[in-house]
Structure 1
Amino acid sequence: MAPTSALSGADGQIRAAGVQGAFHADRRVVSEAVLLIDGREAEPIAHAAAGPGRSRFTSLARWLGDVQPDPVVRVDRLREIRAYGMAEEITIASTATMPVVMTVAMRVDCDLAAIETVKSGYAAEPVTPVGGELTWASGGTTVAMTGEGAEVHGRELRWEVALKPGESTTLCWRVMVTDPAAVVAAPAGPVEWTRPEVKATDRRLGRLVAQSLDDLAGLRLTETGHPADTFLGAGVPWFLTVFGRDSLWAARMLLPLGTDLARGTLRVLARRQGVKHDPLTGEAPGKIMHELRRGEFVVPVNGLRLPAAYYGTIDATPLWIGLLHDAWRWGLPEGEVEALLPAMEAALSWLATDADPDGDGFLEYIDVSGRGLANQGWKDSGDSVRFRDGSLADPPIALAEVQGYAYEAAVKGAAILDAFGRPGGDVWRAYAAAMATRFRERFWVEGGYPALALDRDKRPVDALTSNIGHLLGTGILNHEESARVASFLASPEMSAGFGLRTMSSADKGFSPLSYHCGSVWPHDTAVVIAGLARDGFGAEAAALAEGLLAAAEPFENRLPELLSGDARDAVGRPVPYPASCRPQAWSAAAAVVITHAALGLYPDVPGGTVDLRPMAGAPLGAVTADGFVVAGTPVSVSVDAAGAAEIDRLPDRFTVVTTG
């Protein structure tokens, strides 16, 4: 449970190698936790999730007890991640016909390594336990490992166990972390969203939603000192902190379940909105931050050095405006919206000033510090912006989807300004109209689709990528243009895998295991599903949704950060991407997006209407979600196998418009 997580092998052992460990707020607090019985490791036979933040590992001590084919000594480890650290119960049961005696030991260690050091594969400096006990301290963080009834022998917790025939015993040990320097903490209250009961013809959807909501509950965080505002940490283990883009997208995806998470996310980011120009951090007045860490984030392998509060993102600011508007439409109280209007006005101002340094009307980025992110859209790896021939584009870069976000932010910001009697609505509608015209003139390439970006020389970067799918639903495209984008996204070069490829397989830069040039990102696919469904391309949306549903089951319904973009008929089952975060907030939220897209519930709480616009023909079959929330009221929404939609328990003050 955030801000704590644990990575182990399928056997439950946390070994002193690679990226395994228990992590707390960007520090590895357990670097080894190996269970030994009589100095030997038991034989692992099973592992499974046991609920939010809980995992169970089962093994056998075959050398103990009767000599027979059936095992008689079973070991179950139930590991629970808690806000303060980790706890584990080790249950040993014997069905032997004779007494069994054993020495049980938990071999432990702690290196307090920074998360970026672990991710880069570098060895951490050893930390010596304090005072002969299993307690470690460094940089203000203290870690204590204790076992009930255990004796400490060096770096082991030991228990002497004797079991009579049919007996069992449970041993307990735990990790306690004291970390006053952490910038994030666990929320004290209940989960901020509903847990809808989802029933569908395709039962995979209900299973995916259930696991995803468990995972999302474990990613909840607050900023230290502000316990009332909850947001989602981006992902386990590398990004368990506030990330502007990731946290905003995840909150937006979960709006059908309530607006409290959106409120917390908006408030957290508004508190750290830029107020000055700082080339080192990327801060600018009105700009929404990219990420927050306890200190400088240093990655030795590539020279990346990000300050604790880093603003190197081109898209978080328009996405913040979009979330505020959409939360308002779903029922965020007017007082909450009004309190955030100064932040929204500052964010709008940034769109037309610092976001467009050369004044050409497009939002663009360049890392002027030389030590930050070279690319500052959601595809932020250094090689993600390529021409179709595989060559890299030179910055400054103006990404296609970011212009769509800016158009949408201007239109939605204008709607809020008008509704709250603030000036400027006409200005921002004019900005949006001009943006759409410029985009139409400059971004479309000879192949008949929008370019990935414009480069330093304003040349269209002509790779065919998933970025163009983010334009759907923003309003920057007309219907004919949307249809052309939809057809390209549905092509085998883009959609032959388990979801939407980030880059066409026909492009020279394509690689199915490239981070951003051919892999499949569930959140990216989900964003495009939402846009396709909203713009009336239900068949294309359903095909992508089916890809994610097919991918989910081999991953035990815990969709990873990304997976390989291999063609499905070539590999049969999804190929994992090494070092992918799992769970990942916006990947988990994709399950809600699929459900919402199928049902097509689009409320306008300030306007008193609810539009029911399910996917035409119900391409995902019959779907019911009992527990969506409109204006704070749980409702039940369903679409039958023929595509007819219904909504129950909606307050009388709303008018329902059914267009599906």
Structure 2
Amino acid sequence: MTTSSMTPSLTPPTTRPLQPLLDDAVIALRAPTQVWSGRDGDLGAAPVDGVYHGDVRHVRGLVLECAESAVEYVSVAPESASRVVFGGLLRGADDAQPDPKVRLVRDRRVTDGSLTETWTVASHLTEPARVTLRLRLRPDFTTLHEVKAGLAGPAGATDEPGHDLAVTTAPGTATAASGTRSLTLTADGATVTTAADGEIVASWALDVPARGSAEAAWTLDLHDDALVVRGAGGTWPGRPAGTTDGSRPTLPADADPRLGRWLDTALDDLDALRLTLPDQPGDEFFAAGAPWFFTLFGRDAIWAARLALPVDVRIAASTLRVLARLQGTTHDVGTAQEPGKILHELRAAPLEIPGEGIVLPPLYYGSVDSTPLWVCLLADAWRAGMPDDEVTALLPALRGALTWLVEHGDSDGDGFLDYIDRTGRGLANQGWKDSGDSIQWRDGSLAEGPIALCEVQGYAYEAALAGAEILETLGATAGGATADDPLHPDRLRAWAVDLRTRFAQTYWVETPEGRYPAVALDRHKRPVDTLTSNIGHLLGTGILDAAEEEHVAGLLLGPTMSSGFGIRTMSTDAAGYWPLSYHGGSVWTHDTAIAVHGMHRAGLAGHARRAVDGLLAAAEGFAYRVPELHAGDRATRAGVPTPYPAACRPQAWSAAAAVTCLAVAGARADDVIA
């Protein structure tokens, strides 16, 4: 047999679109603007690379070149969420000695709607030098959704359809526009030209003095008339409730030093993730995360504000107001809107997810948990110091949310809150685990809807009791409820008690892993028996008794659920478990933090601290910018967590988890988080 005949034929590589990987990319952001690049600072080599503003990538390629030398980068330093400094060598412009004497520093800063870079060439040569620096910039105007779906062309492509690109130049400046979107490059001291394919080139001839330095700087201003969100002004210091001096939270004297580093990074990221809506610029909320979710998501904004409550009540209050203004008022199957319902997400245009048959309208209400969570946040914010008059102003929205809870949240009349997509184009799963395969039986088969998630019943129980308390205390000033009102505090409490009783009778299952609440009820009212992290969200809601809470907390910290870097979304004993499954075995930092939050409220301080230890180990492994999720591999397998390579970062609720860990670390054993 000849050698050639023994060589196996190679199958051509797949050409199907793939979602970009993010784990090695460098990001600088100030919502709603973000810049993703390689570790050399250049944009274009990786599919995610670009300058984004809102839901559009304005720039695909951006390269720094030096005519006299290759640029050899040796350092990258994220100075803050919005600033990254890259350091390189220009050895082609250097002398023959071994020590490098000509350096390049590339200082990138991002603000709302703007990117600025300052390039500094520093020389230790004994003679002056001439260095020519060049910026090559390729406008793009591809939607974020196309990039996420892997449908966007590579940098340098000239045949991308539908962008109708127009580029003009003037001395020291260039403008590119496509429809309602545009960018303007200002490059003082540079010669600016444009190529036939739309690429913009700016060149600076720098005279670098002996043992001195010279600079080139440019700014890119971005504009989009279609934006539905705006950046927030000022800074968000994340100061403790009740302080006015801008101070950062104080760590306990015996706190793990990793917590301080994580907290500094997290508060900085939360500051950069703040957004507002155009009609109410004074009310801020946290964007869900970068790069794909730079907008308002009801569930994400609520949980991020709730976890961050120990350091700021005000953004919780403004988040509540923003969501109340967009609260559902009618029945609309196409948008999943119902009276009193809190939205899922807001976009500038419909969101199409290729290959999945999903098309979401710009204002979409397909979330079963945003509404009870809105009530829970209102109660928590009120107890944490939100002024009574601000809470009173939200009583109509509270009544709407509670009405949805008791009248509209149960689609099939079994007494439990549930969801089902009635369009065939919406989200099949509408809890926080919203991927299509997230609700599984232990054998790996998928549950059929309507789905009644266990944690949503806990949220509903807590919300009904909290709503009753607020209405009883403050409702008289806004027209109190009569005895026959479905929202009379006594009737709400009775509704909650009934829910709690039926939950105890219906949800608990017994499997080889023990006894625990099922993740959900399926369409046939059968408890879906997989052990999942969803049960951690029941802790502290009151729907479990004290013994049940301790039992659930113990399961979550057991070997099948705890990875050592956080709590897995699904038990390793489940047939569907896979450490890199989005919701079927991975670890989500916010998910573990919610369990920590509940453990602490339930008085399970020891359990809470053990869970915090895992999150701190993960934070250290990710250099304290914890991503959206990571692999569920056990910590003993490797010294650092394995990235989920398409995970967003920073993510608001992952960052806010650091505040919850601070609250646990700083509390006495008998303290509880409100």
TM-score normalised over the length of structure 1: 0.90
Contact 2:235–2:271 (8 Å) recurs in 1 = no
> Which of residues 168, 182, 195 is equivalent to 2:227?
182
Q: Does 1:101 align with 2:146?
A: no
Cα deviation for residue 416 of structure 1 reads 0.4
The answer for the alignment partner of 1:29 in structure 2 is 58
User: How far apart are the structure 1 equivalents of 2:112 and 2:582?
Assistant: 31
Contact 2:603–2:671 (8 Å) recurs in 1 = no
CA RMSD in angstroms comes to 1.7
Q: Does 1:241 align with 2:295?
A: yes
User: How far apart are the structure 1 equivalents of 2:318 and 2:176?
Assistant: 34
The answer for the alignment partner of 2:208 in structure 1 is 163
The answer for the alignment partner of 1:302 in structure 2 is 356
User: How far apart are the structure 1 equivalents of 2:353 and 2:128?
Assistant: 54
User: How far apart are the structure 2 equivalents of 1:519 and 1:459?
Assistant: 25
Cα deviation for residue 99 of structure 1 reads 2.9
Kindly provide the amino acid, as one letter, of the partner of residue 587 in structure 1. S
The answer for the alignment partner of 2:461 in structure 1 is 407
User: How far apart are the structure 2 equivalents of 1:390 and 1:70?
Assistant: 60
CA displacement, residues 580-628 of structure 1 (integer Å, 9 cap, x when unaligned): 1111100000110001123348xxxxxxxxxx8348xxxxxxxxxxxx9
The answer for the alignment partner of 2:39 in structure 1 is 10
> Which of residues 417, 420, 430 is equivalent to 2:494?
430
The answer for the alignment partner of 2:559 in structure 1 is 492
For 1:325, what is the secondary structure of its paired residue? Answer: helix
Matched ranges for 1:428-507 at <5 A:
428-446=492-510, 447-507=514-574
Contact 1:29–1:111 (8 Å) recurs in 2 = yes
User: How far apart are the structure 2 equivalents of 1:525 and 1:168?
Assistant: 49
CA displacement, residues 27-50 of structure 1 (integer Å, 9 cap, x when unaligned): 112211111111764111111111
For 2:461, what is the secondary structure of its paired residue? Answer: helix
Contact 1:193–1:260 (8 Å) recurs in 2 = no
Cα deviation for residue 16 of structure 1 reads 5.3
User: How far apart are the structure 2 equivalents of 1:347 and 1:586?
Assistant: 23
The answer for the alignment partner of 1:592 in structure 2 is 659
The answer for the alignment partner of 2:88 in structure 1 is 59
Q: Does 1:268 align with 2:297?
A: no
Cα deviation for residue 143 of structure 1 reads 1.0
CA displacement, residues 458-493 of structure 1 (integer Å, 9 cap, x when unaligned): 111111100000000000000111111011111011
The answer for the alignment partner of 1:116 in structure 2 is 145
> Which of residues 71, 87, 101 is equivalent to 2:116?
87
User: How far apart are the structure 1 equivalents of 2:308 and 2:534?
Assistant: 21
The answer for the alignment partner of 1:379 in structure 2 is 433
Structure 1: gaps spanning 5 or more residues: 602-611, 616-627, 631-660
Matched ranges for 1:121-132 at <5 A:
121-123=150-152, 125=160, 127=163, 128-132=165-169
For 2:300, what is the secondary structure of its paired residue? Answer: helix
Kindly provide the amino acid, as one letter, of the partner of residue 230 in structure 2. A
The answer for the alignment partner of 1:367 in structure 2 is 421
User: How far apart are the structure 2 equivalents of 1:458 and 1:145?
Assistant: 60
Matched ranges for 1:272-421 at <5 A:
272-420=326-474, 421=476
Cα deviation for residue 130 of structure 1 reads 2.3
For 2:86, what is the secondary structure of its paired residue? Answer: strand
User: How far apart are the structure 1 equivalents of 2:96 and 2:70?
Assistant: 19
User: How far apart are the structure 1 equivalents of 2:135 and 2:646?
Assistant: 27
> How many residues are paired up?
607
Contact 1:105–1:157 (8 Å) recurs in 2 = yes
The answer for the alignment partner of 2:186 in structure 1 is 146
For 2:508, what is the secondary structure of its paired residue? Answer: coil
> Which of residues 267, 272, 286 is equivalent to 1:232?
286
For 2:88, what is the secondary structure of its paired residue? Answer: strand
- Worse overlay, 555-564 or 95-104: 95-104
TM-score normalised over the length of structure 2: 0.88
Kindly provide the amino acid, as one letter, of the partner of residue 159 in structure 1. W
The answer for the alignment partner of 2:15 in structure 1 is none
User: How far apart are the structure 1 equivalents of 2:108 and 2:251?
Assistant: 28
The answer for the alignment partner of 2:19 in structure 1 is none
User: How far apart are the structure 2 equivalents of 1:26 and 1:298?
Assistant: 13
Q: Does 1:50 align with 2:79?
A: yes
User: How far apart are the structure 1 equivalents of 2:227 and 2:628?
Assistant: 24
Q: Percent identity?
A: 50
User: How far apart are the structure 1 equivalents of 2:144 and 2:431?
Assistant: 23
CA displacement, residues 340-377 of structure 1 (integer Å, 9 cap, x when unaligned): 00101010011122210111111111111111111100
> Which of residues 525, 532, 552 is equivalent to 2:599?
532
User: How far apart are the structure 2 equivalents of 1:585 and 1:18?
Assistant: 23
Contact 2:70–2:92 (8 Å) recurs in 1 = no
Q: Does 1:544 align with 2:611?
A: yes
User: How far apart are the structure 1 equivalents of 2:548 and 2:186?
Assistant: 62
User: How far apart are the structure 2 equivalents of 1:59 and 1:502?
Assistant: 42
User: How far apart are the structure 1 equivalents of 2:46 and 2:358?
Assistant: 24
Matched ranges for 1:509-524 at <5 A:
509-524=576-591
Cα deviation for residue 51 of structure 1 reads 2.2
- Worse overlay, 343-352 or 68-77: 68-77
- Worse overlay, 118-127 or 284-293: 118-127
CA displacement, residues 504-547 of structure 1 (integer Å, 9 cap, x when unaligned): 11111111111111111110010101111121222221111111
- Worse overlay, 129-138 or 305-314: 129-138
For 1:145, what is the secondary structure of its paired residue? Answer: strand
User: How far apart are the structure 2 equivalents of 1:365 and 1:244?
Assistant: 16
Cα deviation for residue 189 of structure 1 reads 3.7
- Worse overlay, 457-466 or 173-182: 173-182
- Worse overlay, 474-483 or 148-157: 148-157
User: How far apart are the structure 2 equivalents of 1:224 and 1:392?
Assistant: 41
